Amino acid sequence: MPNLETDSKLVTDEYKYGFETLIQSDALPKGLNEDTIRAISAKKNEPQWMTDWRLKAYRRWQKMKEPRWADVTYPPIDYQDICYYSAPKRDGANAEAIDEEMARTFERLGVPLHERNALAGVAVDAVFDSVSVATTQKEKLAEMGVIFCSITEAIHQHPELVQKYLSSVVPVGDNFFAALNSAVFTDGSFVYVPKGLRCPIELSTYFRINAVDTGQFERTLIIADEGSYVSYIEGCTAPSRDRNQLHAAVVELIALEGAEIKYSTVQNWYAGDDEGRGGIYNFVTKRGHCRGRKSKISWTQVEVGSAITWKYPSVILEGDHSVGEFYSVAFTNKKMQADTGTKMIHVGANTRSTIVSKGISAGHSRNSYRGLVQILPSAANARNHTQCDSMLIGSTCSANTYPVIECENETAITEHEATTSKISEEQMFYIMSRGIDEESATSLVVNGFCRDVFKELPMEFSVEAIKLLEIKLEHSVG
């Protein structure tokens, strides 16, 4: 078996997902031009309409400027120094060995891909660098009429759905990173839940960046047809490397009349080392569209990784009586920078939105909440409640909030509450006086602070999130 090592190495103890899978990959050379896009499209054997769509996006992107308004600083990104396509190489003889190695990598990340080990009640799509490597529980889902597959497969198998909904929520030219993603996206998940079905299985995608200097540009599209319900979970990790890597995803959610989509994320990309070297640039556009009456979209995110996060999962509340929710915990440490929040655009009458944001900064990090609540003239009786809390650990970090409320209908009611606090000496003393050590005491206070968000996560995921935050906090005290 030439050129294939099956050993992985652990780069750092602190970030236990920091190992690299040594595997031969089939990659395009670095750089971006129309040929790169044609090559990606060709590798995926895409129909002409898809190639054209990508090229249009690329031409659009070329005319756009990288946004720099966020409260983050980083050196210029050389878009010609990035590899836009990398896939585990599978050629006849070693295909099976590769599949095993992939499965082992995901097992190690806590994501079982073999059907025999699969978690009951959860279906997983695993994305490794640029491609989806496995989707579990497909048959069971198919019986119910649920389509859950990689976006690549959807382009081939369900072109009518993809053509109808792709970029219908995040237009190609929405922003610089969305345009880039549209041009070069390689894989991601596709979900369609048929009318009236309450999907009993949690759908989950696990994203893993492995290759060096490779960007991950995933594209996720979820459609909940009338009266349906789906809960979708995504998790992300990457090896610890001393160079930055770009992750620019686009996620679009569409909820038709009476449908509900619950989207949960635990983002734990590599965040860089103590000096701020390396880590993922996480520049993501996530948007949901409550298209029908009484539809509901709920975003819950636990953001504990990435060197830089630029992410605003939003909801367009078009259907009357539709509901949008955003629950967020963003933890930054070391030299991490996060600029995250949401947009709630109220278009329909009697639309309601809730925003609960908890930012925790430690180390030398910078953590900003940026939010927009927009009530359009048509949104009679719209309501929004925003709760935006920041907590500081230590004295070298910072927290900022940039909330904007634009209200153009006088029957609307918006409420905004915000707090900034330090973990108080009195709280720490009180907890420690009960025998609990400093680290555990900090973690107790922080978990209490995040409770309103954690309780929105699916049960097992919530336990994971709490554990993850505890691990992250271990190195932030003292």
Partner 1 sequence: MSDADIKIVNLHARCEEKAILKGVNLTINQGEVHALMGPNGSGKSTLSNVIMGHPSYEVTEGEIWIKGQNIVEMEPDERARLGIFLAFQYPVAIPGVTVAKFLKSSTDATLGEKKKSATEFLKELRENMKFLEMNEAFLNRFLNDGFSGGEKKRMEILQMLMLKPCFAVMDETDSGLDIDALQVVSKGVNKLTGPEFSLLVITHYERILKHIKPDHLHVLIDGKIVMTGGPELVKELEEKGYDWIRQEFGQEVLV
Interaction residues for partner 1, span 331-390 (CB under 8 A): none
Question: Which of 413, 432, 460, 463 touches partner 1 (CB under 8 A)?
Answer: 432
The answer to the question of residue 430 lying near partner 1 (CB under 8 A) is yes
The answer to the question of residue 426 lying near partner 1 (CB under 8 A) is yes
Cα 449 to Cα 303, 402, 464, distances in angstroms: 15, 20, 17
Interaction residues for partner 1, span 299-318 (CB under 8 A): none
Per CB under 8 A, the segment of 19-27, 100-108, 284-292, 424-432 that binds partner 1 is: 424-432
The answer to the question of residue 434 lying near partner 1 (CB under 8 A) is yes
Q: Give min distance, CB of 395 to partner 1, in A.
A: 15
The answer to the question of residue 156 lying near partner 1 (CB under 8 A) is no
> Mask of contacts with partner 1, 449-468, x by CB under 8 A?
xxxx----------------
Per CB under 8 A, the segment of 14-22, 233-241, 277-285, 439-447 that binds partner 1 is: 439-447
The answer to the question of residue 447 lying near partner 1 (CB under 8 A) is yes
Give the rounded distance of the alpha carbon of 239 from its chain centre: 17
Per CB under 8 A, the segment of 49-57, 164-172, 223-231, 444-452 that binds partner 1 is: 444-452
Q: Give min distance, CB of 370 to partner 1, in A.
A: 24
Integer Cα distance of 30 and 215 in angstroms: 10
The answer to the question of residue 427 lying near partner 1 (CB under 8 A) is yes
Phi, psi of 379 (to 5 degrees): -90, 70
Q: Give min distance, CB of 388 to partner 1, in A.
A: 15
Report how many residues bind partner 1 under the rule CB under 8 A: 24
Question: Which of 120, 425, 459, 478 touches partner 1 (CB under 8 A)?
Answer: 425
Q: Which is nearer to partner 1, 225 or 464 (CB)?
A: 464
Q: Which is nearer to partner 1, 257 or 439 (CB)?
A: 439
The answer to the question of residue 49 lying near partner 1 (CB under 8 A) is no
Integer Cα distance of 52 and 37 in angstroms: 10
Phi/psi region, residue 294 (left: phi>0; alpha: psi -120 to 50; beta: rest), is left
Q: Which is nearer to partner 1, 28 or 431 (CB)?
A: 431
Q: Give min distance, CB of 452 to partner 1, in A.
A: 7
Q: Cα-Cα-Cα-Cα dihedral of 192, 196, 197, 203, to 10°?
A: 40
Q: Give min distance, CB of 459 to partner 1, in A.
A: 16
The answer to the question of residue 417 lying near partner 1 (CB under 8 A) is no
Question: Which of 440, 468, 471, 474 touches partner 1 (CB under 8 A)?
Answer: 440
Question: Which of 40, 431, 457, 469 touches partner 1 (CB under 8 A)?
Answer: 431
Q: Which is nearer to partner 1, 104 or 451 (CB)?
A: 451
Question: Which of 97, 119, 436, 468 touches partner 1 (CB under 8 A)?
Answer: 436
Q: Give min distance, CB of 355 to partner 1, in A.
A: 18
Per CB under 8 A, the segment of 70-78, 93-101, 227-235, 427-435 that binds partner 1 is: 427-435
b/e per residue, 195-204, with b = 16+ CB within 10 A? Answer: eebebebbbb
> Mask of contacts with partner 1, 53-82, x by CB under 8 A?
------------------------------
Question: Which of 445, 465, 469, 473 touches partner 1 (CB under 8 A)?
Answer: 445
The answer to the question of residue 435 lying near partner 1 (CB under 8 A) is yes
Q: Which is nearer to partner 1, 211 or 445 (CB)?
A: 445
Enumerate binding residues for partner 1 (CB under 8 A).
424-427, 429-438, 440-441, 444-445, 447-452
